Amino acid sequence: MLQRLSISDFAIVERMEIEFHRGFTVFTGETGAGKSILVDALALALGERADAIAVRAGAERAEIVAEFSILEIPDFSSWLAENDLEGDEDLCLLRRLVDASGRSRAYVNGRSVTLQQLREAGDYLVDIHGQHAHQSLLQPAVQRDMLDSLAGAQKLAGEVSNAYKTWSSLRKARLKYEENRAENEAQREVLDWQVNELSRLNFDHDEWQETLQEHGRLSHGASLLEGTRYALDMLSESEGSCLSGLASADSRLSSLEGYDPAISAIRPYIDAAQIQLAEAAHALKHYVDRLDIDPERLQFLDARIDAVHTVSRKYRVSPEALPVLLEKAKSKLAELAHAGDTEAMLEQERHAGEHYLGLAGRLSEERKKAAQRLSMGVTESMRQLSMTGGTFEVMLEPAGEGDAHGLEKVEFLVSANPGMPLRPLSKVASGGELSRISLAIQVLGSRAQKVPSLIFDEVDVGIGGGVAEIVGRLLSRLGKDRQVLCVTHLPQVASLADWQFSVYKEGGGSRIRLLDEADRVEEIARMLGGVEITDTTRSHAREMLGLQVL
């Protein structure tokens, strides 16, 4: 239940805070005072789209905070827990900020949420019936959704829609394959050849690097042999080699040590050089002995490298990309092979069709029950609303094999006068009749929902007199077990409310106040009409309020 609404710098409202109660509450006031602004503000807090026009002129941002008691909404408490948005056990705060540029932020219990999450929360808390509901009621989609809502089958309707899309998608895929069978077969042959060719090549990245390295070594074998032998000769095997020269130098220095001890400090360097060069000569000799120049191996490697480059040029990729190309070709080939199994495709399509028809059949049964309840209920309400002899009926017309919305088309039919045939609502109802029928449907639909707070924004437009009083009684009865908030211009409706707020303009902005008994007499008298409020209108107002006439 809505307990408090706080509004700051929204539209023409600078600041307003309202506390709400259970039962039937009305908002009244002069035209243009801002009655519907309250509904607009609450709609914004519930996830309605916002723009810069929502911010009061000269203000930096608009802020709306709605406080709800949720003790009697266990499903919503579970939703809050699932989304990690819990707050106080019995309370939930929805907050919406809109800055002057039109950007907005939303919060649930102080945590930032998306606009979609805010709307989901709002769906548990409030059901708003706008003043233009009777116009949208002429649309087939609205009629169908209203019937599904009354049947409690919105989730089932969504499952039917998804099942149909799956079935339709499989059918389109099969038909497309059958239309392109020759093209697909040709593509399969090309891919099969490609997979075989790449598989035969048996390309491996590590093997490729080793091949290039070995090929480089073998192709430069003569240069390697000549260079290493020359180095070996220079180090140890030729006359005047480095090692023999160092040995001679070391021998001469050894014979001179007796003359100058300082030479002893130099000889270790020569000894170290001899050791290093001897090791280098040994390694070179070992390398030369192992160096294998195999022309046949070189020819094999040439052929391997040429084969890899030929294939990579053919497919316009680098050699390193060949394994990826092979996997893609295999994947596409498998996809075409699966898609080419017409029997499997037909079987999948059949299962999807059966699943859809099963769900759609259940939806049809729920719609039939709800259609009967809605037809009887609206017909009864029409007669209460001075449309004696009028009849309302929900027609479910078979839709062939069905579509995303089920196996039938939903259409509201009405006969406004006795003996007149039933015809589509859009073709026979006048504005006033349409308003009354719309109100009857909304009241019936609200009774079927679990939403604790219902808002009716001038849904009584186009009616008056005794009919207005009946409308007030309908809303009053609805307020016995729900919180009903209604923006109205009809004294007959306002007089039947449990609580009445007056919305008025002051200082260029909107104000609101809860009326006491005396204030209600004055407000109802004003609503009854006349330039001046007389004792007669006051007396009439007191009578409408059920008060003792003075």
pLDDT truncated to tens, each residue of the chain (550 aa)?
Answer: 999 999 999 988 889 999 999 999 999 988 878 888 888 899 999 998 888 888 998 899 999 999 999 988 888 999 999 999 998 888 999 999 999 988 999 999 999 999 999 999 998 898 887 655 556 677 888 889 889 988 889 899 999 999 999 999 999 988 887 776 666 677 778 888 888 988 888 888 888 888 888 777 776 665 666 677 778 778 877 777 888 888 888 888 888 887 888 888 888 888 888 889 888 888 888 777 666 666 677 778 788 888 888 888 988 989 888 889 889 888 888 877 765 567 778 889 999 999 999 999 999 999 999 999 999 988 888 887 777 788 899 999 998 889 999 999 999 998 877 878 888 887 765 666 776 777 777 777 666 666 788 888 876 666 777 778 888 888 888 888 889 999 998 899 999 999 999 998 887 788 899 999 999 999 999 988 766 788 888 899 998 888 644 4
Q: How far apart are CA 475 and CA 472, in angstroms?
A: 5
253: which residues sit within 8 A by CB, 6+ positions away?
Answer: 263, 266, 267, 270
For residues 177 and 334, give the distance between their C-alpha atoms in angstroms, rounded to a whole number: 15
- C-alpha pair distances (Å), 60 with each of 48, 54, 57, 98, 100: 20, 11, 9, 9, 5
Give me the domains of the chain, ranges plus CATH numbers. Answer: 1-131+448-515 (3.40.50.300), 187-338 (no CATH)
Residue type, 442: Q
Query: How far is 129 from 443, CA to CA, in rounded Å?
Result: 10
**Bridge partners of 204?**
none
Give the pLDDT score at 84.
92
Q: How many residues make up the chain in this entry?
A: 550
Quick check: 379 and 392 in contact, CB under 8 A?
yes
The interaxial angle of helices 535-544 and 517-528, nearest 10 deg, is 110
Q: pLDDT value at position 452?
A: 86
Place of tokens 């007199």: 465
> Which residue is listed with tokens 């002051």?
506
- Looking at residue 327, its amino acid is E
Query: What is the DSSP annotation of 386-455?
Result: T-TT-EEEEEEEEEEEEETTEEEEEEEEEE-STTPPPEEHHHH--HHHHHHHHHHHHHHHHHHS--SEEE
pLDDT of residue 549: 46
What gap in Å lies between CA 170 and CA 178, rounded to an integer?
12
Q: What are phi and psi of 9, to 5 degrees?
A: 55, 45
Query: Can you say whether the dihedral through the CA atoms of 340, 345, 346, 349 is positive or negative?
Result: negative
**CA-CA distance, 443 to 43, in Å (whole number)?**
19
Per the CB < 8 A criterion, the answer to whether 241 and 278 are in contact is no
Q: What's the longest Cα–Cα distance across the chain?
A: 149
Secondary structure class of 116 (helix, strand, coil): helix
Assigned token pair, 177: 């394959």
pTM over 0.85: no
pLDDT of residue 6: 95
For position 225, what pLDDT does the model report?
62
Q: H-helix or E-strand containing 385?
A: none
> Residue 184 is which amino acid?
N
Unique residue bearing structure tokens 């003569």? 222
Cα 294 from Cα 304, distance rounded (Å): 16
